[in-house]
Each structure stands twice: as C-alpha cells, then as structure tokens.
C-alpha cells in the first residue's frame, strides 16, 4: 500500500501540468450536426461492460485497464488521469478494488465530471483471512460476482447517464432494465446448473477472487492466495490444499485466467487432479476484445467449467 501511495504522489506531481492543459482545452466538441456522445472512462471490465451496454450508441466508453493486464497490479499513467479529467463520467468499482481512485478524483479539476463509485450500496461479505503474507481481514473487492450487487452497480452507472444526459433518460432506463434481466437469467442458470453436483468445493490455485460467487450458490471455496495476487502462498498453504484435494477426492483444480497457472499446476501435480480455468472477469485478453466478449460470455464459460469441475448433472 505504501508503494502505491508513493506512486500516486509522483504521478500527480508529474501530470499536474498535463491536467491543467487538458482541462483548459476542454473536451472535444462533436462535429456540426453530429449528436453529442457521453464520454465515459471505466476502470475494470465489469463496470466497462455495464456502461457500454447502458450507453449503447449514445456513449463512448473507454476501459483504462489494458487488455491482458492483471487488475490488482494496475497503476494509472499520467495519460490515464488526463483522460479521466476530460471525460463526462468516471466509473470505478470501489475503494478496495481501486485504492488509487480517490486521489485521482481529488486531483481532477473538471467540475462537470460525474464520479461513480459503482459499489455504493452493495452487499459486502465479511473480511477474509488467510495464512499467506497478506494482512488478515482484507476485504474481498470482487463484489460484481454477486449478481444482486451487479444490479446495484449497473443502477449506479445508469443514474450518472441520466444526470449527464436527462433528455435520454428513458433510453438509459430501458437499457438498465435489459441488463438486469440478463443478470437474473444468468443467476437462474447458475442456481440450476450448480444445484446437483458431486462436489461442492472449489479449490482455486489463485488469489481469493470467487468468494461472492461461492457464497451466493452455497459452495465451499478455498484459494491458494489471499485477496491480492501479490500475496504468495506459504508451503503450509500448498500442503493444506493438497491434503484437501486428496481427502475430498477432488478431480479438478481451478486456475485464474490472466495469471500464471504455476500454483495450480504445482498443487495438481501432487495429486491426480486436472486443471480448469475460471475468470473473475476483472479484465479480458486482446483477442476477447476483438471478439466483443461480454461479462455474460465470461460468466457462461465459468458456469460450464464449474459444472465440469464439480461434477454437476
């Protein structure tokens, strides 16, 4: 955390002049006769997907996180801060997922910028604790993996669109309703698909990212790392996972996309377990961007892999 604070101070010092220039110039104006589009800057893929769906055709939505980059290690560049300052709306997840967001917001001088803490009003799980080198009690920031939370987040984003473009509020409300309907359908698919399984335990060779999903569907969940991917598992952590796999006769170990599968491979190598990927949907690869993959596409793939890994009927 100290490293991020120092980094933040340096970034703000370096980009102060850039911000003043950018704000002085103001946002680019639309060509004569062309309808104005709301410009939106988002931090992670889930809120990006929500914003681009709600603003469909009436907004230019930008994802700060470059394709393939692990979300927890992301630190904004001066050019990212300039982009935020010139936007109409800035959307981030919450203070736990993006601890740098508050400092950036305070540094922006664009008084017309609407800042959306998408996690405002969502349900929080109790803090998690691990035997890794991460401090005990670290909160789980992956709130979007509870679909009721995702609905609230989408609602917070839609409210910003209405505030910025009240003339099109009926359009944004309809798009929000459509997104929430899709979330309800996905929720029903998860409840049905995970209701009759040989195993109810997810063994995850990655950081603690699936707590909300496991809690929602009554699954047990054990991860090799803490909330942060930088929290290295101890030898005891790995030994406990191997023991758990053998004791429960678990057939699959899951690993997280966009991160090295080394830990999962190590654990699986000590047992007869096979490997399957799961994504917490923080981000997508460049190929997924080009294919137009959505949040729902990722969730559907996760569901299929969970059904295979847990032996669901």
Domain with 113, as residue range(s), is 2-188
Could you give the angle at the alpha carbon of 215 between the alpha carbons of 192 and 173, nearest 5°?
70
Whether residues 147 and 214 share a domain: the answer is no
Q: For residue 240, what pLDDT is reported?
A: 81
Q: Assess contact for 93 and 48: CB atoms under 8 A.
A: no
CATH code: domain of residue 178: 3.40.50.1980
Q: For residue 49, what pLDDT is reported?
A: 98
Name the pTM for this structure: 0.85
Whether residues 224 and 104 share a domain: the answer is no
Whether residues 93 and 23 share a domain: the answer is yes
Whether residues 34 and 177 share a domain: the answer is yes
Whether residues 45 and 94 share a domain: the answer is yes
Q: Per residue of the chain (313 residues), what is the pLDDT tens digit?
A: 444 444 454 444 444 444 443 443 444 433 445 578 999 999 999 999 999 999 999 999 999 999 998 888 888 999 999 999 999 999 999 998 999 999 999 989 899 999 999 999 999 886 665 544 444 556 789 999 999 999 999 999 999 999 999 999 999 999 999 999 999 999 999 999 999 999 999 999 888 899 999 999 999 998 887 766 666 777 877 888 888 889 888 999 999 887 778 888 888 888 889 999 999 999 999 999 999 999 999 999 999 999 999 999 8
Q: Tell me which of 157, 172, 188 is where a domain ends.
A: 188
Whether residues 247 and 130 share a domain: the answer is no
Whether residues 199 and 163 share a domain: the answer is no
Q: Tell me which of 161, 188, 215 is where a domain ends.
A: 188
Whether residues 165 and 246 share a domain: the answer is no
Domain count across the chain: 2
Q: Tell me which of 164, 188, 212 is where a domain ends.
A: 188
Note the helical H segments in the chain. 2-25, 45-54, 78-86, 101-107, 147-164, 169-193, 211-216, 235-248, 262-269, 286-291, 295-310
Q: For residue 138, what pLDDT is reported?
A: 64
End-to-end distance of the chain based on CA atoms, in angstroms? 44
């Amino acid at each position: 955390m100290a490293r991020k604070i120092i980094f933040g101070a340096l970034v703000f010092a370096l980009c102060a002049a850039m911000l003043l220039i950018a704000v002085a110039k103001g946002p680019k104006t639309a060509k004569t006769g062309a309808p104005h589009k709301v410009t939106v800057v988002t931090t992670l893929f889930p809120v990006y997907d929500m914003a681009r769906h709600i603003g469909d055709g009436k907004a230019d939505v930008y994802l700060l996180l470059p394709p393939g980059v692990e979300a927890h290690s992301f630190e904004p560049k001066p050019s990212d801060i300039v982009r935020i300052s010139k936007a109409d709306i800035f959307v981030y997840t919450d203070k736990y997922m993006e601890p740098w967001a508050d400092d950036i917001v305070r540094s922006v001088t664009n008084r017309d910028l609407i800042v959306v803490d998408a996690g405002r009003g969502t349900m929080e799980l109790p803090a998690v604790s691990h035997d890794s080198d991460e401090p005990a009690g670290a909160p789980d920031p992956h709130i979007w993996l509870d679909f009721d939370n995702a609905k609230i987040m989408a609602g917070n984003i839609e409210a910003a669109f209405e505030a910025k473009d009240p003339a099109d509020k009926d359009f944004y409300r309809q798009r929000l309703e459509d997104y929430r309907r899709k979330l309800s359908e996905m929720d029903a698919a998860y409840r049905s698909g995970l209701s009759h399984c040989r195993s109810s335990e997810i063994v995850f060779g990655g950081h603690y990212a699936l707590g909300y999903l496991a809690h929602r569907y009554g699954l047990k969940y054990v991860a090799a790392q803490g909330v942060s991917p930088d929290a290295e598992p101890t030898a005891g952590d790995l030994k406990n996972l191997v023991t758990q796999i053998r004791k429960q006769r678990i057939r699959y170990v899951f690993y997280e996309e966009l991160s090295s599968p080394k830990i999962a491979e190590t654990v699986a190598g000590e047992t007869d377990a096979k490997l399957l990927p799961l994504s917490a949907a923080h981000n997508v690869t460049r190929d997924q961007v080009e294919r137009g993959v959505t949040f729902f596409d990722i969730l559907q793939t996760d569901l299929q892999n969970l059904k295979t890994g847990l032996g669901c009927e």
